[in-house]
A and B are shown apart, each in its own frame.
Chain A
């Protein structure tokens, strides 16, 4: 009784907390943000060049592709799945998009539009297959996407005959390195994608059910929702984002090669995990993923400025991933989330 009365009084605050912004989630994201901030402070004090406008836009550009892939990965991991095929899919999408982009005599605008359609379409098809095969046959997505990792890579090599595609329209490339107030346009695109994903995950029925499936599939099924639809949708979204990432890749680097993107899936997973999303599914936010991607990007860049070798950087990134999971574990125990 008393509890009830109390509830009514606090209704106004509650409305916002319902949709993914509980104080605990906020606290978790704030914690990750704090870690990012500390990292930035550390590198700015430790190196001369870190906080220069040039370097910042450099970092943002480097983060972009991983961030887009990680946003898609967040959807998949939230339902308790994993997608190991995004690196290969990136290559496949890129070569398909690149082939369209280099069709002779096509006006630039049309070429880019068609190429985007082709790249995203390729990603959608691959992602759909990932989701459908694993949901229909009840297979772990780990296995299915491991298969797709090989299929997409093979397909990319087959389509191009293992050749690299280049000489895209110059204006397409100019777009890839365009800046607005020193911020790369491609990064802004990624931010828009983050915003959309945040909205979908926290404000829509669709997002609610993805969290639900990650937490308790059976309860969601028995409440009358099609698991198949949501699972396939999550993987398909991830695939579509791979297609977008492929376009960004081509715009920036001016090539599309069947051997790009090797290991990108691991970077994307790392960003998601560092961002506080649980590998068991059902817990995490895309804002966390954004912060996670920034942390990996800042770390990589800062360590280069420190003059550390590639090998050392790789080791440190590994340590950070493990640390992030350990910290998360403790946080869970302390706050009882």
Chain B
């Protein structure tokens, strides 16, 4: 294991040898050049930001470092020695820990088992020491401030943010020299992100190097010492954070200056007609009986804010009838309806972009086009027979609108980068033309440029009368998009803000207030 003391002595500012060095690393998948000459060097005790557009090669680079993907060309040095891992195990043995962008937890095992999966505590007979494991897992979760889940729960029960934190906890179980975090904050709300940053700072002070991938430049500026930009698989920029600024980074990422994001003086597109209304609508897991009441108008974009576990996702799942049984009343365009399955909800005109693309959004091993048309198969078929041409047209049209970076409509969804996978999930619902669209973290992992495109597209759809309900952990996103924001806490609506009242402070105030009230009860 690493000698923390000597590293800290070195970190005084004198030239220290880099702990990790990459030189001109290349990797192609068939015709796609995922990495086309990446060079970078990471100092001990440095937080190294790695940024770039969707499909720029960040995750591929990380897979190279942890032995999942073997590079075609280039050299990697770890602490001055040549390093070419062939298995993730080898990478771990060399002190690299990785939290991947797409989750790798085993859904039916408990949280504790997942955390300890690599070294389950066992007694002399090889029987797992459950007590010890659970206590250890509890401590690991408390250390990252995740106290509201039981370590005996199957991971299946957790929302996506909690899963992310469990992955972080698992990576922290072993001491490492280099910790790699691939978009760890994409699913987290500000509270969890803060905790994560505290941990990162702590590790840095102990001499651990951290490679941090994010599409949030503000985070990069807050936490990183150095930042490297990839574009089309090449290093185009690598500098200490103090010597650069946001504009420069964006330019380096997209290769041009980005137009200003949509102005905030946007007018509300809400129409008087009601699109959806809920009266005491209750998800089966809601801890109380009151349920949620709200109204959504045609053309309106209603944002839902709240901390992780506040019931935002559950609300959307309930509306889409993904979970049953439900109670309370739901009206769609004024008519009372009650859905007994997602099929009925969707046929009635509800679309639902789920938060977890890998588990419930995408069929990774099927073509991109098949994923795009999955919810609108009747539009691309006649008498039950598929029209591949139509499928490809839809895919190409939406692909162009969403700036999808892909090898072709017939390539499997698994070949896409994370952000591009997210765009496919969006495309699936845009292809269907619903009346009410529920979006759960719609831009998770999407890069700045494409985000602006998606926002514009969402506005366009609202203009056509589509009503949107958006859950997002990114407050700036909610504030850019929404006409109105409601704040949830403990499965209740605890606050509502109209556009002129929007501010991060007020939203967070409501969110935390609700929680404290709950604690007092």
Listed in ascending order, the chain A residues whose CB lies under 8 Å from chain B are 1, 3-4, 6-8, 10-11, 14-19, 22, 203-206, 208-209, 211-212, 215-216, 218-226, 282-283, 337
Contacts and interface: CB of A to CB of B under 8 A. Distances in A.
A15 B392 contact: yes
B22 interface: no
B512 interface: no
Contacts of B386: 19, 203-205, 208
A219 B410 contact: no
A220 B363 contact: yes
A200 to B, nearest CB: 9
Interface residues of B, number: 47
A205 B354 contact: no
Given A216-B364, A219-B363, A222-B342, A16 B388 contact: yes
B367 A204 contact: no
A211 B366 contact: yes
Contact of B388 (A10, A19, A219, A283): A19
A212 B366 contact: yes
A7 B405 CA distance: 10
B399 A4 contact: yes
Interface in B371-385: 374-375, 377-378, 381, 384-385
Given A18-B369, A205-B384, A206-B384, A212 B363 contact: yes
A223 B428 contact: yes
Contact of B343 (A14, A208, A219, A225): A225
Nearest to A17: B410
Given A17-B367, A219-B360, A219-B363, 11 more contacts: A3-B405, A7-B406, A7-B407, A15-B388, A17-B410, A208-B386, A219-B361, A221-B342, A223-B374, A224-B345, A282-B366
Contact of A14 (B32, B370, B381, B408): B408
Given A15-B389, A205-B384, A222-B320, A7 B370 contact: no
A18 B394 CA distance: 13
B365 A282 contact: yes
B396 A7 contact: yes
Closest 4 CB pairs of A and B: A224-B346, A17-B410, A223-B375, A223-B374
Contacts of A7: 396, 399, 406-409
Contacts of A226: 341, 343
Contacts of A16: 388
A87 B253 CA distance: 62
A10 B385 CA distance: 23
B460 interface: no
B246 interface: no
B447 interface: no
B352 interface: yes
A18 B409 contact: yes
A219 to B, nearest CB: 5
Contacts of A1: 403, 405
Given A204-B386, A206-B384, A221-B342, A10 B408 contact: yes
B322 interface: yes
A143 to B, nearest CB: 18
B400 interface: yes
Contacts of A11: 392, 396
Contacts of A224: 342-343, 345-347, 375
Contacts of A19: 386, 388
B410 A14 contact: yes
Contacts of B167: none
Given A4-B400, A18-B388, A218 B346 contact: no
20 contacts: A4-B396, A8-B396, A11-B392, A15-B389, A18-B367, A18-B392, A203-B385, A204-B384, A204-B385, A205-B385, A211-B366, A212-B363, A212-B366, A215-B364, A218-B359, A219-B359, A219-B374, A222-B322, A224-B342, A226-B341
A150 to B, nearest CB: 30
Contact of B346 (A18, A219, A223): A223
B146 to A, nearest CB: 25
B391 interface: yes
Contacts of A22: 367, 410
Contacts of B365: 215, 282-283, 337
Give the one of B365, B369, B375, B410 with max A CB within 10 A: B410
A222 B320 CA distance: 8
A31 to B, nearest CB: 18
A19 B386 CA distance: 9
Nearest to A282: B365
Give the one of A8, A216, A219 with max B CB within 10 A: A219
Contacts of B341: 226
Contact of A222 (B347, B354, B388): B354
Contacts of A4: 396, 399-400, 404-406
Contact of B410 (A18, A205, A223): A18
Contacts of A206: 384
A196 B378 CA distance: 21
A214 to B, nearest CB: 9
B370 A208 contact: yes
A333 to B, nearest CB: 12
Contacts of A18: 367, 369-370, 388, 391-392, 409-410
Contacts of A14: 392, 408-410
A8 B393 CA distance: 10
A205 B68 CA distance: 35
A162 to B, nearest CB: 44
B377 A208 contact: yes
Interface in B402-440: 403-410, 428
Nearest to B359: A218
Contacts of A204: 381, 384-386
